[in-house]
Amino acid sequence: MIKLLWVDDNLDQDLAEKRMSLLMEDDIESDFAGDATEAYFLLTDIEKDYDVVLMDLRHPAGPDDIWNEYAEQADRKYGPVLLKMVKENREGIFSHLSKTRYGVFTIETKEENPDLFQPPISLPDQNYKMKTHAYDETDFINFIRALNKS
């Protein structure tokens, strides 16, 4: 069973069908978060030791004040903020996620996001996928499975 967390603010709109396609897979158990706050609380829940976390790059902060210091960032790039947070606290509140694999699923290109591939995030190149390159549901599901094996 692949335990998946997918963070994206469009899960109820343009990604609704992809979200449903995940539910059709018997070996994938999915949680969803629509903003950074929701994602943060799911990630800090020690009972939710996810195998795969799939992250969009831009989404709203959500209601929690922990994001206030990032409030001035106009581009809403909380995805990298979350990934950085998790990677920098692997000994602390995110220690239960030591075996988790991380992936990015976005409309942006890799070139726009060089920070993802450098420490502390150090995302493997193949763990980044553009949404336009996984239009087909099978490609998308295969990407999740590949992340789990990465």
Partner 1 sequence: MNSALSPALLEQVRIAYEQISGLPFPVHATLSDGTMFLANKSARDFFGIPQESDLEGINIRNFYEDPRDREQVLRKLRQNPSGEWHNNITIRLKVGNEHRKSRLSSLPFFDADSDQIAAMINITSSMTEVEWFAEFEDSFDAGFFELDERFSITSCNAKTTEILNYTDKDALIGKPVSELFWELDQAAALREALLKTPHLHIQRLKLRCKGGAMVIVNMHCLAFPDDTGLITRAKGVIRDVTFDIIAKDVPVGLFMVTANAEGEEIFSRANDAFAHIYGYQTEDEIIGRSTTDFHVSPTSFAEFKKALDEAADNDLPLLDYYLDMKDIHGKKHNIVTNVRYMPGENRRLRVGVAYDLTDHVGKQLRILEADFGALLHTYIATVNGLRDTMGMLVKAHGYDVMANEKHIDRSATANMLGGHIKRLGSLIAELEKVCAERGVSADLFERMRKPWRRLSEKQMEREKDNASWARRNMIEMRNALDALKKTNLPRELLKSTRTEVDEILRLTTVTSLSLSLDELNERIPEFYYFRDYLRRKEIELQDAKPQNILSILLDATQFLEEFASIRKVAILHHINPNDQVLVNCNKASLNRAFSCLLHNAIKYSWSKRGDNAPYIDIRVDKRPDTIEITIENWGVAIRREELENDLIFQFGQRGQIADDRGRSGTGIGLYDAHNIITKHGGTIRITSEPTFGNPPEVYSHPFITKVFITLPIVK
**Side chain identity at 149, as an amino acid letter?**
K
Min dist CB 18 to partner 1, Å, is 11
Min dist CB 54 to partner 1, Å, is 18
Min dist CB 100 to partner 1, Å, is 25
DSSP-assigned letter for residue 22:
H
- DSSP assignment of 24-74: T-TTEEEEEESSHHHHHHHHH-TT---SEEEE-S-----S-GGGGGGTT-T
Min dist CB 78 to partner 1, Å, is 10
Q: Which is nearer to partner 1, 64 or 139 (CB)?
A: 64
Binding stretches for partner 1 (CB under 8 A): 9-10, 12-13, 16-17, 19-21, 23-24, 34-35, 60-61, 63, 71-72, 74, 76
Q: Which is nearer to partner 1, 21 or 44 (CB)?
A: 21
Angle, helices 16-23 vs 137-149, to 10°: value is 60
DSSP β-bridge partners for residue 3: 29
